[in-house]
Amino acid sequence: MERLGLVGLPNAGKSAVFNALTGMDVPVAPHPFSTTETTVGIARVPDPRVERLAEMSHSKKVVHATVEVTDIAALVKGANTGEGLGNRFLGSLREADALVFVLRAFDDPNVPGESDPTEALATLELELVMADLESVTSRRERQRKAVKGDPALAGEVAALERAEAVLGDGTPLYRSGLSDDDRRLLAPAFLLTNKPALVVLNLGEDDVERATELAAKFGDDALAVCAQLEMEASRLDPDERAELLEGLGLGEGVVPRVAAAAYHLLGRRTFLTTGEDESRAWTFRAGASAPECAGVIHSDLQRGFIKAEVVGWEELLEIGSWAKAKEAGRLRVEGKEYVVQDGDVLEIRFNV
């Protein structure tokens, strides 16, 4: 499962975003460092396509895709030298697939702290860079010794040296222009800035209309949310939530947008399965073949893969049922080479 790690200054709204995403209830309070431990939660990625297919197939169960989210303690300037709570919490992010910077952009006299998202991002990036620089330097020293006995490590040593230079200039690796090969060779070092990063701007209620414009300053994938409202909305039942969010101009709310941005960033796609038992969304890597996608469902399906029957979700809805699609010869039969597309509905034929 994909995991997103939240990073931010104190009182930026990380825990509010976490609660909005996961429906959990970690402490949210107007004083710095209200979070002192790491919490991992699961966010359901709502996908209207599954709901529609479930309706069509009269499925007993609807299963949405999920992402994991990690809430950690705040970072402050100088965390790498022990300021605030220090930077030991960054260890909890080493297993994340992507970082989500939560930047405060709301004004509230009752919540201490600045609302300068540009400055906040610079501070946070520098702390991550410092943490990475420390990891890279110590690993580079170790691998330089090891390479004498194991020449195969030469590539990694060179990549570590290049990373050290970039980080030494204060640049996060995700913005460094290092080659994909170098980025891969650095994987064993579990660096923080070797992950893709996404900005979530936490806006005040009054700025909701300007959300798109404000987020655009932080890159194509950046998005703006209203964490406090979204958190409150997440406590309501689905109809009330939709009504509240619509009324506030927040559209479908934070979860689908963060999930979609993260999937895009990570190159993830969705395929679907549907039947009377359940309709379900599954996550796969863009470019994956039919057997690889079968393996997402169960390893037996990959091992014993024979063929996949495939139809696009919209086409299937138009036809009205899997049985009719089959009867009308509208299911494509695809083999091992088939590259699965986002929105494909699959049935795997296998034999183990």
List interacting residues with ligand GTP (CB under 6 A).
Answer: 8, 10-16, 28-30, 32-35, 74, 106, 108, 111, 202, 204, 226-228
Closer residue to Mg ion (CB): 15 or 57: 15
Closer residue to ligand GTP (CB): 7 or 340: 7
CB 231 within 8 A of CB 28: yes
Stretch that binds Mg ion, among 33-41, 206-214, 220-228, 320-328 (CB under 5 A): 33-41
CB neighbour class for 13 (10 Å; exposed up to 12, middle 13-18, buried from 19)? buried
Closer residue to ligand GTP (CB): 112 or 335: 112
Closer residue to ligand GTP (CB): 14 or 269: 14
Measure the CA–CA gap between 337 and 343, rounded to whole angstroms: 18
Give the Cβ contact number of residue 144 at 10 Å. Answer: 14
Stretch that binds Mg ion, among 32-40, 160-168, 234-242, 259-267 (CB under 5 A): 32-40
Residue 30 partner contact from Mg ion, ligand GTP, none using kind-dependent CB cut-offs of 5 to 8 Å: ligand GTP
Q: Using CB under 5 A, which of 11, 15, 176, 193 touches Mg ion?
A: 15
CB 88 within 8 A of CB 52: no
22 forms part of the interface with Mg ion (CB under 5 A): no
CB 59 within 8 A of CB 53: yes
CB of 118 to ligand GTP, least distance (A): 17
Closer residue to ligand GTP (CB): 30 or 219: 30
Measure the CA–CA gap between 316 and 146, rounded to whole angstroms: 57
Strand order across the 305-312 sheet: 61-63, 278-285, 268-274, 344-350, 305-312, 332-334
CB of 37 to Mg ion, least distance (A): 10
143 forms part of the interface with Mg ion (CB under 5 A): no
Strand-pair partners of 333: 309
Binding site for Mg ion (CB under 5 A): 14-15, 35
